[in-house]
Structure 1
Amino acid sequence: MFVDLTVDLIEATVQLDQPINEAKRMVGTGFLVEVPQPGGAAPQVVLVTAAHVFEKMPAPDVRVGWRYLNAQGTWVYEPSTIKIRTANGPAWYQHPTQDIAVIPVQAPATFKDQAIPQAMLGDETTFVTEKVKAGEEMMTLGYPHGLSANVAGFPILRAGKVASYPLSPSTAYPTFLIDLTAVPGNSGGPVFMTTEGPKGKTFVAGVLIKQVEDDNQRLELGVVADAIFVRETIDIMQRGQATGALSQPRLTPGLPAPVQTPGGPTTDTKDMTDRKTDPAGQAAKPSGATN
């Protein structure tokens, strides 16, 4: 049966931000995933984002843009903070080679059911079984320049075509390119698609982590880390929780390998976290958002 879960992903995606000074804040995107627990225990909710989003936010608390549906049937933006650093150090878990981080969160009761199931994350076989090809359209959710789709704080949905070939295996090709302009605030957003046909389904293909630049010029390409690394980071978290080991997020994530362009210089990649005040654009800011 065909199932399109785009709205589920929209509702699971949140803005992450931290004021740096009166003129600037760091902004990123995250999304919630519900992780099954052994022995029939209640599932655990984790927040997934790009590791550099947390690394570049120096304070211990980060604001998460929760939302809830009030009695009048209207969505309301109600952010609160979570702690990403404690006396023992960073509280998130990080992939040892990729720019992926997960952190357990206590989502508000009105929001915790918005988390997507872990089964929606692509695995090592997804690109093959779903016959995903270069040129197919994928979508991403985020907060470009810290802007949202409306005052309720929902993310902005954008789309672009897969610009890489081949896409698998992830051991050889851990990241892929998507043809869209990635800007500050998009880091950590889910990249997903809904396949066609009677058995089509929506799945998360990866996490948007970088924009591609060549000689300080944006090439309107985003770099996506394969969703398999989100699964692996969740496994790292669960092993750490089972043994009582602290998270080890200070491992330096491996950047996508530089790409030598034919007849030109090496392509560089830039993260997308900084956000200055008074950006251009007409998207609405959530009420109470910090400029």
Structure 2
Amino acid sequence: MTLTVAETLMHTTVRLECKLKDGNSSTGTGFFFSFKLDGDQHIPVIITNKHVIENSEIGSFVLTKSDAQGKPLLGQVERVVLNGFENLWIKHPEKDVDLAVFPMAPLFREAEAKGVKFFAPPLQDDLVANEKILSDLSGLENITMIGYPNGIWDEKNNMPIIRKGVTATSPKNDYNGLPIFVIDCACFPGSSGSPVLIFDQGGYMDARGNMNLGGNRIILLGALFAGPQHVAQGEIQTINVPLKQVPISLSKIPNNLGFVVKAEKILDFKKLLV
């Protein structure tokens, strides 16, 4: 059976589980991404936030196997467990950019040597919202976020949870002078690292009011990393989306807003990987 575009998108994320140095465990979200080189060469990676893998001693994630035709074998998976997990990631060199990448090529080669192939369709760098793409946006757009809120997932099929929302600030602008923007979407523990996309099926209206009918539109706007919360005294603080699955005091009230690192910062990794 041929997958729809939406079904393929649901396979672009991966649930990250970390055992931390203090003995606690956490979950977060990563997504498959591919940097295009000259010719047909690509560099496959997983992208997440720095804080998702921070202080992690052991990390693991589950990959879905594929058949000879490259189609997913739902329910047939392999768990990858890696020691020294934090040190395997390349962190974005800018302090305020909460992104990290994990090169996947060695893992894929090792699996193929054993006759195993994985279904891990990546988001491509041509989907990244650049200046030209952003100029065609209205500023108020419907968004789709894919991830693992509170670590929740379809464990049997190794599938994520989809959330919907809207842009709360225009992704054309740098919120408070930083390469981020804000979304109005339910953002819970485990959602850190989730890709935030525009995904229109069958048509959409551009910034000039022109209706484009037929086909799909997919734009990678960025990756969720933080969000504001009220505290008991009514003060509003910005914190990383929590990772640990622990009871949360009712004195902290999420605003259902999320801060998103702009996807353009992902492209900074290309020169670090080549």
Q: Output the amino acid matched with 1:186.
A: S
Q: Output the amino acid matched with 1:65.
A: V
Aligned to 2:7, the other structure's residue is in SS state helix
User: 121, 129, 133: which one pairs with 2:139?
Assistant: 133
**CA offsets per residue over residues 4-31 of structure 1, 9 Å max, x none?**
8433321121001123499942111111
CA-atom RMSD in angstroms: 2.9
TM-score using structure 1 length: 0.68
Q: Tell whether 2:236 aligns with 1:219.
A: no
What is the match of residue 19 of structure 2? 19
What is the match of residue 65 of structure 1? 62
Written as runs of structure 1 = structure 2, the 5 A alignment for 1:1-291 is: 5-20=5-20, 24-38=24-38, 40=39, 42-57=41-56, 59=57, 61-69=58-66, 74-82=74-82, 85=85, 89=87, 91-96=89-94, 97-105=96-104, 106-107=107-108, 108-109=111-112, 110-111=117-118, 114-129=121-136, 131-134=137-140, 136-164=141-169, 166-170=170-174, 172=177, 174-195=179-200, 196=204, 197-198=212-213, 200-215=216-231, 216-232=252-268, 234-238=269-273, 241=274
> What is the distance in 2 between the residues matched to 1:163 and 1:201?
20
Q: Output the amino acid matched with 2:261.
A: A
Q: Output the amino acid matched with 1:100.
A: L
Q: Output the amino acid matched with 1:78.
A: E
Q: Output the amino acid matched with 1:92.
A: I
Aligned to 1:8, the other structure's residue is in SS state helix
TM-score using structure 2 length: 0.72
Structure with more contact order per residue of length (Cα contacts < 8 Å, sep ≥ 6): 1
> How far did 1:93 drift?
3.1
- Residue segments in structure 1 that go unaligned for 5+ positions in a row: 242-291
Q: What percentage of aligned pairs have identical amino acids? A: 21
Aligned to 1:194, the other structure's residue is in SS state strand
From the superposition, tell whether residues 219 and 76 of structure 1 become closer, same or farther in structure 2 (CA, over 3 Å).
same
What is the match of residue 248 of structure 2? none
Q: Output the amino acid matched with 2:226.
A: K
> What is the distance in 2 between the residues matched to 1:112 and 1:69?
5
Q: Is the 8 A contact 1:95 1:101 kept in 2?
A: no
What is the match of residue 268 of structure 1? none
From the superposition, tell whether residues 94 and 115 of structure 1 become closer, same or farther in structure 2 (CA, over 3 Å).
same
Aligned to 1:52, the other structure's residue is in SS state helix
From the superposition, tell whether residues 66 and 22 of structure 1 become closer, same or farther in structure 2 (CA, over 3 Å).
farther
Aligned length: 227
Aligned to 1:151, the other structure's residue is in SS state coil
What is the match of residue 254 of structure 1? none
> How far did 1:140 drift?
0.5
If each structure's strand is expressed as a fraction of its own residues, which one has the higher value?
A: 2
> How far did 1:200 drift?
4.8
**CA offsets per residue over residues 176-234 of structure 1, 9 Å max, x none?**
221122111110010001241236511111101112212232111111111111112x2
Q: Is the 8 A contact 2:97 2:261 kept in 1?
A: yes
What is the match of residue 282 of structure 1? none
From the superposition, tell whether residues 127 and 221 of structure 1 become closer, same or farther in structure 2 (CA, over 3 Å).
same
Aligned to 1:26, the other structure's residue is in SS state strand
Moved more, 171-180 or 188-197: 171-180
> What is the distance in 1 between the residues matched to 2:37 and 2:134?
26
Q: Output the amino acid matched with 1:79.
A: R
> What is the distance in 1 between the residues matched to 2:134 and 2:216?
13
From the superposition, tell whether residues 183 and 95 of structure 1 become closer, same or farther in structure 2 (CA, over 3 Å).
farther
